[in-house]
Amino acid sequence: MRSDNAKAGMQQAPARSLFRALGLTDEELERPLIGIVSSYNEIVPGHMNLDKIVDAVKQGVAMAGGVPIVFPAIAVCDGIAMGHVGMKYSLVTRDLIADSTECMAMAHQFDALVMVPNCDKNVPGLLMAAARLNIPTVFVSGGPMLAGHVKGRKRSLSSMFEAVGSYAAGTMTEEDVKEYECKVCPTCGSCSGMYTANSMNCLTEVLGMGLRGNGTIPAVYSERLVLAKHAGMAVMDMLKKNIRPRDIMTEQAFRNALTMDMALGCSTNSMLHLPAIAHEAGVELNVDIANEISAKTPNLCHLAPAGPTYMEDLNEAGGIYAVMKEISKLGLLNLDCMTVTGKTVGENIKNAVNHNPEVIRTIDNPYSRTGGIAVLRGNLAPDSCVVKRSAVVPEMLVHEGPARVFDCEDDAIVAIKSGKIVAGDVVVIRYEGPKGGPGMREMLNPTSAIAGMGLGSSVALITDGRFSGASRGASIGHVCPEAAAGGPIGLVEEGDMIAIDINANTITLKVSDEELARRRANWTPKKKEVTGYLKRYAQLVTSADKGAVLQGN
């Protein structure tokens, strides 16, 4: 046992005295130590129930003969951090979560781990840690929130943010906004659309690191407690069979994850996190594979913000396994990949049934023949940028318009809300990248203001920052290289024409090479005064197309 490094033999008697101080018995000192990484806290609604999940995991571990020991991971609520300086401190926690989990697992020599994440950065952060540590690990998340109901219709956080835009446009009253505020987030859990948290929890299931239902069983269902007990038992089984994260998170498993990302219409943040997790697993995942995979993968789900269905509907329709079963009919999944069940993907999904072909479209009747995400390139983004194509209205798939340039998100929001952005405009928000922000802010406020003000069919937004899974419209993010690293997005001037062709995967700044060279000769990227962790982060972080991993990892 790995934990014997800490607890066996004469030399470790002092450590055993400390284990006894924890209340461990002789019998427990003989058994495997299972670390349970709890992302529980009292500020994230998606995490406020994790204490119950953790308790259930503990029971599962103990039932199967292990000794469960809980330790924490920090967690940020992106919804609360949105639209102010707080959002600079969100993505940066992903790497802190990975690093701190590594430290705890190594320092105490746990034999295996159960990861209990839920919201946006905890899922990739803990998957990165699992890949790095490579000891048997199972994931069980806190589960999605139920949808809210406003005037009899299901609603969620994306419509809440857009309600603020509608208020600015004068089409909603303060009372209307208050009704949304009181009703869109009715329970604990990760907000109920295919936003980033749910995207990553679903992809954990696809990768094979979580059990069936990990992505979709609602947070308030007792079935989630059953799932958590099973996760505790499953990790003990993995330990016996010595199945490790890198046996599961192989190149083929990441291809499966990208394929299902396209079928499900996941958050664009998946294009940042999947390469980062793969990197930790020793797999290099180039974002360009996304287009190759997207070209052959139909988009079968339109959950919020792309359409009016929610995680609870996907769960009742058969969940992730049912979508995988549909996609496997096209031969697009590798069915031999190993999973935490000790069985292959093919064995896991064999009996899955699609109970609702409206929520999970069949392969003969997809929402689109190609996948939910597109990677674009061109002289404005030589190293790529990303858009959630499934949430773009058809009339914006090809668009050309004048640039309206802002050097931070806050200035853009003021301009949009005060009516200075008009139909046809292409809003450019720069110096918001991983280095430039620093922290690559997620910009749900400007995209929701555009949608809520009725400009979603005529205005595009381009940034070296990123978007929420709740953002819709022609919202093109992760522009690489970013402005702070000398990317051409920093050379754009007010009124320059920008041509976007999502069908052709291109983005073009219609300014000649000579003119761009002239501008570059007179330009040095803006520098911001930053302190503390953000200062260190800005020095170490790589570009978004590399998953914004930290140098040296």
Ligand X SMILES: CC(C)(O)[C@@H](O)C(=O)O
Contact between 431 and ligand X per CB under 6 A: no
296: annotated binding-site residue?
no
- Residue 157 binding partner per list ligand X, Mg ion, none, with a CB distance cut-off of 5 to 8 Å that depends on partner kind: ligand X
Find out whether 95 is annotated in a ligand binding site.
no
Residue 159 binds which of Mg ion, ligand X, none (CB < 5-8 A, kind-dependent): none
Q: Which stretch binds ligand X (CB under 6 A): 162-170, 284-292, 411-419, 466-474?
A: 466-474
Determine the 3-state secondary structure of 134 from DSSP: coil
121 is in an annotated binding site: yes
CA dist., res. 373 & res. 363, Å (int) = 18
Task: Tell me the one-letter amino acid at 366.
Answer: P
Write the interaction track for ligand X spanning residues 236-275; mark x where CB under 6 A is met and - where it is not. -------------------------------x-x------
Length, in residues, of the chain: 553
Q: Which two tokens stand for residue 473?
A: 């419209």
Site for ligand X in 177-236 (CB under 6 A): 191, 195-197
Q: Are 230 and 237 in contact (CB under 8 A)?
A: no
Beta carbons of 311 and 216 less than 8 angstroms apart? yes
Q: Is the Cβ of residue 79 or residue 319 nearer to ligand X in the bound state?
A: 79
- For residue 157, the minimal CB distance to ligand X (Å) is 5
* Cα angle 297-426-470, degrees, rounded to a multiple of 5: 50
Which x/- pattern over 93-132 shows residues binding ligand X (rule: CB under 6 A)? ---------------------------x------------
Catalytic hit among 390, 468, 475, 543: 468
Q: Tell me which DSSP letter residue 323 carries.
A: H
In this complex, which beta carbon is closest to ligand X, that of residue 197 or of residue 498? 197
Q: Is 343 annotated as a binding residue?
A: no
Cis preceding-peptide flag for 45 (omega within 30 of 0)? no
Q: 508 pairs with which residues across the strands? A: 499
Question: Which positions from 48 to 87 touch ligand X by CB under 6 A, shown as an x/- string?
Answer: ------------------------------xx--------
Q: What is the smallest separation between the CB atom of 91 and Mg ion, expressed in angstroms?
A: 8
Quote the crossing angle between the two packed helices 270-280 and 251-264, to the nearest 10°. 170
Measured from the CB of residue 118, what is the shortest distance to ligand X in angstroms? 10
Query: 331 exposed, middle or buried (CB, 10 Å; 0-12, 13-18, 19+)?
Result: exposed
Separation between Cα atoms, residue 274 and residue 267, nearest integer Å: 11
Residue 17 annotated as catalytic: no
Residue range at the interface with ligand X (CB under 6 A); choices 51-59, 342-350, 398-406, 465-473: 465-473
**What does 131 bind: ligand X, Mg ion, none (CB cut-off 5 to 8 Å by kind)?**
none
Residue ranges in contact with Mg ion by CB under 5 A = 78, 120, 196, 442, 468
**Of 544, 537, 358, 267, whose CA–CA distance to 433 is shortest?**
544
- Cβ(448)–Cβ(184) under 8 Å? no
CB of 276 to ligand X, least distance (A): 15
Among 233, 470, 549, 550, binds ligand X (CB under 6 A): 470
Q: ω before 394 within 30° of 0 (cis)?
A: no
In which residue are the tokens 């990123």 written? 466
Using CB under 6 A as the binding rule, the residues of this chain from 140 to 159 that contact ligand X are 157
Whether 507 contacts 400, CB under 8 Å: no
- Find out whether 338 and 351 touch, Cβ atoms under 8 Å: no
Q: Are strands 381-388 and 398-406 parallel, antiparallel or unpaired?
A: unpaired
- Rounded to a whole number of angstroms, the minimum distance from the CB of residue 441 to ligand X is 11
Binding site for Mg(2+): what residues are annotated? 78, 120-121, 442
Which residues carry out catalysis? 468
Contact footprint for ligand X (CB under 6 A): 78-79, 120, 157, 191, 195-197, 267, 269, 442, 468-470
